[in-house]
Structure 1
Amino acid sequence: KETYYIIKILVSKDGKNFWATLKTDEPLKEKVKVEGIINSLKDRKVTVSFFEKRQLKIKPYPPLKTSTLQQEASKRFRFSPGKTMSIAQKLYEGVEIDGKNVGLITYMRTDSLRLSEKAVYAIRNLIKEQFGTAYLPPTPINHETGGKLVQGAHEAIRPTQPNLTPESLIGKLESDFQKIYELIWKRAIASQGSYAQEEVKESNFEVDGLTFVARGKKLIFEGFYRILGEIPHYEDIPELNKGEQLDIIDAKYEEKETEPPPRYTEASLIRTMEHLGIGRPSTYAPTLETLYERKYIKKERGYLVPTELGFQVNDILISRFRDIFEVKFTAKMEEELDEIESGKKKALEVLEKFYTGFSEDLKSFEENIKGIKEELQRTEETCPLCGSPLLLKWSKYGKFYACSRYPECKYTRPAEASEVTDKKCPICQKPMILVEGKKGKYYRCVDYPKCKGILPYTLGIKCPECDGEIVERKAPKGKVFYGCTNYPECKFITSHKPVDIKCSACGYPIMLEKKGRKGKIYLECPNCKNKIEKEEKNEKGSDL
């Protein structure tokens, strides 16, 4: 990171204050120099050397397609692409409205921006009735840009019945379904609304050979923004005349740091995949789900972070199959598949050209795979059962150590296993270690697999429904939940972490730890929904 500075001055005209920023060819990195400029600007005047005002027409946003639906849902609601497509699938197949099964949207796996003539006619009539002729353009708006071949004859994603407004479905759809439908409905209807109009202003100011720039903008006509229900708000500057002088009211600098490019979010990764031609509408969500499922990536604070396994897989494959992992190759293959579909190329010719180079890379990889594995798996640890070297291996559940004499010796243990605990094996009485399995944490005998002794890992909290204890479990996709050691006899289950505190309102023996919208932790009773703030120093088992 490098530190640099931005200099700003506050000027005023007709009682309206606004900021202007110093224009520089190179970043200002010397703080002493910056402070000197600030001091020289005190009690000075600036001269307007340039002022321009122009009006812009803003074209309505296009209706949604698969990629933009996933991006908007991720950005607005933090929905995963998989969740978004699952909801869209059900809206397409049909949901029960007033006792009838109604398909609310058109097919949701599409890269088309086209709307049928019938849909455009219905949408334009709705705009005229609900918003007035001022918000209806003289002719329908075409959002297709041509060029790239889109899949099939699908339209953009739109409501099947535009007159079924989001407001008319309140209380008839689940909350998440309502959000996705409203998003699709507003974008489809607004796509045929009038252009918005904005007024843009720009001015330059001169003082002691320095040039400051100020820009402003205001909305003149809402147009399609009104249909979207999202009116933008801008900072404006007053009308200025070339040659007039204005007082500098204040001068300041802002300290900044250069930042590396941000990590991808689910939305930005899908946008990049679409831009680079990687995949199709039907493959965006499954691609991300596969990366999560194989633990190549994880999500931290909304950003996608590669795991250690992801880095290793990347290093192994990229260096040995450079051609097929090149971004341009994927986009080129998509183009060739389109050309096969349109009859411009023959499938066998395309496959033969691809397979000739790929088969050579694959043969070389297979010949060297043993050496690659040994290099990656070698460790300095020895097997406690037979004394042979241990190898570090990977599975979809994480890293683990395995004896190099497998299958003669079947010793394994998770790489993340904690130190030996004070728990005693119920079979052989030897110490046990805490391990992370595919269904969650549990205790396992140090002599595994020779001894199969295991114990559940409990939170030390009694089950509120029986005499069992609460345990931490994992669902097939890795999501943590909490259940009872007496399952299936006891059906107690929750996705929130139990806390050993009795509810003061109803006396229920536990509370659940939850997180509010602003990240604040609170406790809620699962029985009566009584809510209290979490206090870190509460004694275990106390009443609140």
Structure 2
Amino acid sequence: EPFYISGSRIVREGWLRYLPYFKSADVILPQLKEGEKVQVLNKEILAKETQPPPRYTQGRLVEKMEEMGLGTKSTRHSIIKSRDDRGYVVGNPLVPRETGIAVASTLIKHAQKISSPEMTAELEQDMDRIVEGLHQKDQVVGRSREMLDEIMEVMEKEREEIAADIRNGVREDEVVGKCRTCGKDLRIKRARKSRKRFVGCSGYPQCTEAYPLPQKGKIRSTDEVCPDCGTLRITVINKGRRPWTICLDPECPTKKELVGSGRKSKRGEN
């Protein structure tokens, strides 16, 4: 088991010479020779957990795309917009939703080549070489078609499994929690006539538990329960605005607090 030691010392004082309030914190390493035995003065066992890397922010994602050669300055914005419109991620830093995870996992499982950043970067480079006159357009297009034909053939054979995997992810995103009346899933649904979204029990028509929802913004479940009314709480995410958390009951006293603080809360629209 290797052991490490680190130290530091000021080599040149510079402006520190004229700052009397600064105290040097040099750590001078002892002169040691290979094979020399040292005395252990103290030891301790630290209980720590491995921390995951920080989530990507929008800015860091653009930087990463640039580093990997994905998209161009003019196309990266539309790529990110498509991702947001499809509801694959929420927030900033970015948190993947179940739909996004399902799509990514399914592509990696059934069509790994098309989902690899290397393939996308290679296509971008080929297009640049066409502009520079180093590649022929027909040659690049022909190679791309052959590759896509192979991928589409595989996906066509496994379309039922692919559809089921993605469908399960979408269903997970539709679930906001458990119904307090019957215990079944509360899901985000849309009214047949008005097409307005609302939360309804999956046990309908036996259970008629239902709540209105804001008609704009993405909805994310929180697994929290409102202490005032006992209904589930959700987070509403609108582009360009700070996410806000509300409970499902439109008659909850906390809704009056939102109105008083400048948030409008109308029955049917929250």
Normalised to the residue count of structure 1, the TM-score between the two structures is 0.30
1:132-151 mapped onto 2 (5 Å cutoff)? none
Q: Distance in 2 between matches of 1:264 and 1:321?
A: 25
Residue 87 of structure 2 corresponds to residue 295 of structure 1: yes
Determine which of 120, 145, 148 is the counterpart of 1:330.
120
Residue 216 of structure 2 corresponds to residue 439 of structure 1: yes
Residue aligning to 2:36: none
Change (3 A) 1:304 1:434: same
Q: Distance in 2 between matches of 1:512 and 1:351?
A: 55
Residue aligning to 2:26: 237
Q: Distance in 1 between matches of 2:94 and 2:48?
A: 23
Q: Distance in 1 between matches of 2:49 and 2:164?
A: 41
Determine which of 340, 344, 367 is the counterpart of 2:130.
340
Change (3 A) 1:328 1:240: closer
Residue 349 of structure 1: CA displacement? Answer: 0.6
Residue aligning to 1:318: 108
Q: Distance in 2 between matches of 1:481 and 1:259?
A: 31
Residue aligning to 1:129: none
Residue aligning to 1:259: 50
Q: Distance in 1 between matches of 2:31 and 2:166?
A: 69
Alignment deviations for residues 377-400 of structure 1 (CA, whole Å, 9 cap, x no partner): 5xxxxxxxxxxxxxx7949x9576
- Unpaired runs of 5+ residues, structure 2, are 15-23, 33-38, 176-186, 219-227, 230-234, 246-253, 264-270
Q: Distance in 1 between matches of 2:65 and 2:55?
A: 11
- State whether residues 417 and 436 of structure 1, in contact with CA within 8 Å, keep that contact through their aligned partners in structure 2: no
- State whether residues 237 and 244 of structure 2, in contact with CA within 8 Å, keep that contact through their aligned partners in structure 1: yes
SS of equivalent residue, structure 2 residue 7: strand
Residue 200 of structure 2 corresponds to residue 417 of structure 1: yes
SS of equivalent residue, structure 1 residue 323: helix
Alignment deviations for residues 290-348 of structure 1 (CA, whole Å, 9 cap, x no partner): 3333221233xx54332111121123222332222112212222222222221111122
- State whether residues 293 and 477 of structure 1, in contact with CA within 8 Å, keep that contact through their aligned partners in structure 2: no
Change (3 A) 1:350 1:419: closer
Cα RMSD, aligned residues only: 5.1
Determine which of 60, 68, 73 is the counterpart of 1:276.
68
Q: Distance in 1 between matches of 2:101 and 2:134?
A: 39
Q: Distance in 2 between matches of 1:401 and 1:303?
A: 24
Q: Distance in 2 between matches of 1:214 and 1:308?
A: 44
Change (3 A) 1:291 1:345: same
Q: Distance in 2 between matches of 1:219 and 1:287?
A: 50
Q: Distance in 1 between matches of 2:114 and 2:166?
A: 23
Alignment deviations for residues 474-532 of structure 1 (CA, whole Å, 9 cap, x no partner): 757897689xxxxxxxxxxxxxx97549xxxxxxx93469xxxxxxxxxxxxxxxxxxx
Q: Distance in 1 between matches of 2:113 and 2:166?
A: 23
Q: Which has the higher contact order (CA 8 A, sep 6+)?
A: 1
Q: Distance in 2 between matches of 1:268 and 1:478?
A: 20
**Equivalent residues, number:** 207
Alignment deviations for residues 266-296 of structure 1 (CA, whole Å, 9 cap, x no partner): 2444443333222233444443443333221
Residue aligning to 1:352: 142
- Per residue, is there more helix in 1 or in 2? 2
Alignment deviations for residues 194-247 of structure 1 (CA, whole Å, 9 cap, x no partner): xxxxxxxxxxxxxxxxx762222659599xxxxxxxxxxxx852567747xxxx
Q: Distance in 2 between matches of 1:282 and 1:342?
A: 18
The residue type paired with residue 280 of structure 1 is T
Q: Distance in 2 between matches of 1:241 and 1:370?
A: 68
- State whether residues 70 and 120 of structure 2, in contact with CA within 8 Å, keep that contact through their aligned partners in structure 1: yes
- Unpaired runs of 5+ residues, structure 1, are 1-23, 26-210, 223-234, 378-391, 403-408, 421-429, 442-458, 461-471, 483-496, 502-508, 514-544
- Per residue, is there more strand in 1 or in 2? 1
Change (3 A) 1:319 1:236: same
- State whether residues 103 and 166 of structure 2, in contact with CA within 8 Å, keep that contact through their aligned partners in structure 1: no
The residue type paired with residue 417 of structure 1 is G
- State whether residues 108 and 115 of structure 2, in contact with CA within 8 Å, keep that contact through their aligned partners in structure 1: yes
1:163-174 mapped onto 2 (5 Å cutoff)? none
The residue type paired with residue 327 of structure 1 is P
Residue 354 of structure 1: CA displacement? Answer: 1.0
Q: Sequence identity of aligned pairs in percent?
A: 17
The residue type paired with residue 200 of structure 2 is A
The residue type paired with residue 330 of structure 1 is T
Residue 353 of structure 1: CA displacement? Answer: 0.4
Normalised to the residue count of structure 2, the TM-score between the two structures is 0.53
- State whether residues 98 and 170 of structure 2, in contact with CA within 8 Å, keep that contact through their aligned partners in structure 1: no
Q: Distance in 2 between matches of 1:306 and 1:372?
A: 19
Change (3 A) 1:252 1:416: farther
The structure whose Rg is larger is: 1
Residue 255 of structure 1: CA displacement? Answer: 0.9
- State whether residues 298 and 305 of structure 1, in contact with CA within 8 Å, keep that contact through their aligned partners in structure 2: yes
Q: Distance in 1 between matches of 2:4 and 2:153?
A: 63
The residue type paired with residue 26 of structure 2 is I
